[in-house]
């Protein structure tokens, strides 16, 4: 029996032993990827029949394949040999094809596809994976999946700025990639995979390169990656801190450096469930993550793409630890968008959600800057922003908070209301404003009247204040011009010149 399927092994095995793989897969990253040491004696299919030609760029590893032949089906070998056959089949799938040309290697491509499907079926079974099998699987996934993406032509090719088609670029090899992804998911989640052994191969560099793939433009691929990373996080306890750190690094780079990454939403989704699993009381490390990573993630222009996931993460934190509310609100105020109305709407939405969960003490900590900002939103010329801010008064929980602290809030918000009532261009906003004003009047007539009087006084003073400010600066400038600086004024012209001290 054994001989029978040995004979079906790729014939080239002897010949193409030496140059294989290294060319097409050897990773650019130093010492990374689970590259095999060719020591395992059990590796039946030691001849991986792939003869790499040249390192091709990016997505399409262009190995020229002389031909691969199907191996025996699993059902035809005794249980004792199944793991060996598994390794052989996995090794067979290390061959990669050029999918840019759909007419090339049709038969071989199909053989590989069939083999992948067989493997998929087998992995769902209940045979315990041997170490060589794990190694072979990780290597096969690395060879197939870990690619460098091609340049993003949507941003490069401007074509006179008229080319706006948002069609993402899909890897033509997807039909194979998808099965490999499925295979990896099944493999990692399989109860037959011993995490203690597998962690040697699914190691830090494997994880880093998995994370690199999240920048893929293909949402299907990112979806697969999300599932896989999630499972890896679940299964490999030892890697958890590393995974959290590595994802944070991606976020940092995204926020502070490049502002471009395709997989932020997916990574945040994973974090959402990680956060919901945090034990109480929250560790300092996790709170730092909230403050240093999640809050700054509100800054990039592309917030809209991952806002839902981000706001879920934030709400998970608040649910775990309500005392974080004021911290989060302060953060939102810090990154409040000034010119982007769409983002402003998102911020207001998130704010409302937090305010629904906030307690009185936390609320009182931030209400002054918060309502100053809400006042600005109420005055926004973008009617949606103004409307959204005024809708806060439709929320009973928020109105309750406001009513309790009306002595602080009304003086802040009244100028904004009055300004709108006088001249907001949008009718809906105008009506809402008048309603809110009425609410305050009904809430506390006395207070409203005294605030209103105060407001009128202040309004009258505005121009005087501006005048005063101008005057103060004028005097300052006057005083400054009388006191020439020690060096000489030449230093002002060339700041780098050394001033000549008297």
Contact positions toward another protein, by CB under 8 A?
Answer: 27-32, 55-58, 148, 150-151, 156-157, 160, 205, 208, 212, 249, 252-253, 256-257, 292, 296, 372, 469, 472-473, 475-477, 479-481, 483-487, 491-492, 495-496, 498-499, 501
CB of 27 to another protein, least distance (A): 7
Nearer to another protein, 48 or 298 (CB): 298
Nearer to another protein, 252 or 383 (CB): 252
Nearer to another protein, 205 or 380 (CB): 205
CB of 245 to another protein, least distance (A): 8
Nearer to another protein, 126 or 339 (CB): 339
CB of 435 to another protein, least distance (A): 26
CB of 376 to another protein, least distance (A): 9
Instruction: For residues 440 and 371, give the distance between their C-alpha atoms in angstroms, rounded to a whole number.
Output: 15
Instruction: For residues 112 and 218, give the distance between their C-alpha atoms in angstroms, rounded to a whole number.
Output: 22
CB of 495 to another protein, least distance (A): 4
Instruction: For residues 83 and 89, give the distance between their C-alpha atoms in angstroms, rounded to a whole number.
Output: 10
CB of 475 to another protein, least distance (A): 5
Nearer to another protein, 68 or 267 (CB): 267
| Nearest C-alpha neighbor of 148 from the set 61, 251, 262, 221 | 61
The 3-state DSSP class for residue 367 equals helix
Instruction: For residues 11 and 3, give the distance between their C-alpha atoms in angstroms, rounded to a whole number.
Output: 14
| Nearest C-alpha neighbor of 363 from the set 329, 388, 389, 411 | 329
Provide the sign of the torsion angle of the four alpha carbons 303, 308, 309, 311, taken in this order: positive
Nearer to another protein, 211 or 274 (CB): 211
Nearer to another protein, 256 or 425 (CB): 256
Instruction: For residues 121 and 144, give the distance between their C-alpha atoms in angstroms, rounded to a whole number.
Output: 19
DSSP readout, 170-220? --TTHHHHHHHHHHHHHHHH-TTS-HHHHTTTS-HHHHHHHHHGGG-S-HH
Instruction: For residues 330 and 323, give the distance between their C-alpha atoms in angstroms, rounded to a whole number.
Output: 13
CB of 386 to another protein, least distance (A): 18
The 3-state DSSP class for residue 51 equals strand
Q: Could you tell me where the beta strands, DSSP code E, fall in 19-59?
A: none
CB of 322 to another protein, least distance (A): 25
CB of 237 to another protein, least distance (A): 21
User: Which residue, chain included where needed, has tokens 């919901």?
Assistant: 276
CB of 286 to another protein, least distance (A): 16
DSSP readout, 107-128? HHHHHHHHHHHHHHHHHTS-PP
CB of 483 to another protein, least distance (A): 6
Nearer to another protein, 412 or 436 (CB): 412
Nearer to another protein, 106 or 486 (CB): 486
Nearer to another protein, 2 or 64 (CB): 64
Instruction: For residues 212 and 472, give the distance between their C-alpha atoms in angstroms, rounded to a whole number.
Output: 56
With 0-12 / 13-18 / 19 or more C-beta atoms within 10 angstroms meaning exposed / middle / buried, residue 442 is exposed
Tokens of 481: 């011009």
DSSP readout, 422-467? HH-S-HHHHHHHHHHHHHHHHH-HHHHHHHHHHHHHHHHHHHHHHH
Nearer to another protein, 89 or 261 (CB): 261
CB-CB neighbours of 490 under 10 Å:
10
Query: Cα dist. 65→13, 19, 179, 180 in Å?
Result: 13, 13, 20, 19
């Amino acid at each position: 029996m054994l001989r029978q399927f040995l004979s079906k092994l790729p014939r080239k095995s002897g010949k193409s032993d030496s140059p294989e793989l290294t060319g097409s897969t050897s990773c650019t990253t130093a010492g990374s990827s689970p590259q095999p040491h060719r020591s395992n004696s059990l590796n039946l299919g030691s001849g991986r029949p792939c003869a790499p030609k040249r390192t091709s760029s990016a997505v399409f590893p262009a190995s020229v394949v002389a031909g691969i032949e199907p191996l025996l089906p699993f059902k035809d070998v005794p249980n004792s040999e199944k793991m060996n056959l598994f390794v052989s089949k996995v090794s067979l799938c290390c061959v990669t094809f050029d999918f840019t040309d759909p007419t090339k290697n049709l038969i071989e491509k199909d053989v590989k596809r069939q083999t992948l499907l067989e493997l998929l079926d087998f992995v769902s079974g209940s045979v315990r994976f041997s170490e060589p099998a794990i190694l072979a699987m990780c290597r096969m996934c690395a060879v197939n999946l870990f690619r460098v993406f091609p340049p993003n032509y949507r941003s490069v090719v401007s074509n006179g700025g008229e080319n706006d088609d948002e069609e993402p670029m899909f890897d033509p090899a997807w039909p194979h990639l998808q099965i490999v992804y499925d295979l990896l998911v099944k493999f990692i989640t399989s109860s037959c995979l011993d995490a203690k052994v597998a962690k040697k191969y699914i190691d830090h560099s494997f994880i880093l390169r998995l994370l690199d793939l999240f920048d893929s433009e293909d949402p299907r691929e990112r979806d697969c990656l999300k599932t896989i990373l999630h499972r890896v996080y679940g299964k490999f306890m030892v890697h958890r801190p590393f995974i959290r750190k590595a994802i944070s690094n991606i976020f940092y780079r995204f926020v502070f450096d490049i502002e471009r990454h395709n997989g932020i939403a997916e990574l945040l989704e994973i974090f959402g469930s990680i956060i919901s699993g945090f034990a109480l009381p929250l560790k300092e490390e996790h709170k730092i993550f909230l403050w240093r990573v999640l809050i700054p993630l509100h800054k990039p222009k592309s917030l809209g793409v991952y806002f839902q996931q981000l706001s879920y993460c934030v709400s998970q934190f608040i649910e775990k630890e309500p005392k974080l509310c004021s911290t989060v609100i302060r953060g939102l105020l810090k990154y409040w968008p000034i010119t982007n109305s769409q983002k402003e709407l998102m911020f207001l939405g998130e704010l409302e959600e937090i305010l629904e969960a906030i307690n009185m003490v936390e609320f009182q900590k931030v209400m002054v800057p918060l309502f100053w900002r809400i006042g600005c939103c109420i005055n926004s010329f973008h009617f949606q922003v103004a409307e959204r801010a005024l809708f806060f008064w439709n929320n009973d929980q928020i109105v309750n908070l406001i009513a309790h602290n009306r002595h602080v809030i009304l003086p802040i918000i009244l100028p904004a209301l009055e300004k709108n009532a006088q001249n907001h261009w949008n009718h809906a906003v105008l009506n809402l404003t008048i309603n809110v004003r009425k609410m305050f009047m009904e809430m506390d007539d006395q207070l409203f009247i005294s605030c209103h009087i105060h407001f009128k006084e202040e309004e009258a003073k505005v121009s005087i204040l501006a005048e005063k400010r101008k005057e103060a600066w004028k005097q300052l400038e006057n005083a400054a011009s009388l006191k020439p600086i020690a060096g000489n004024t030449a230093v002002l012209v060339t700041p780098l010149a050394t001033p000549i001290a008297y």
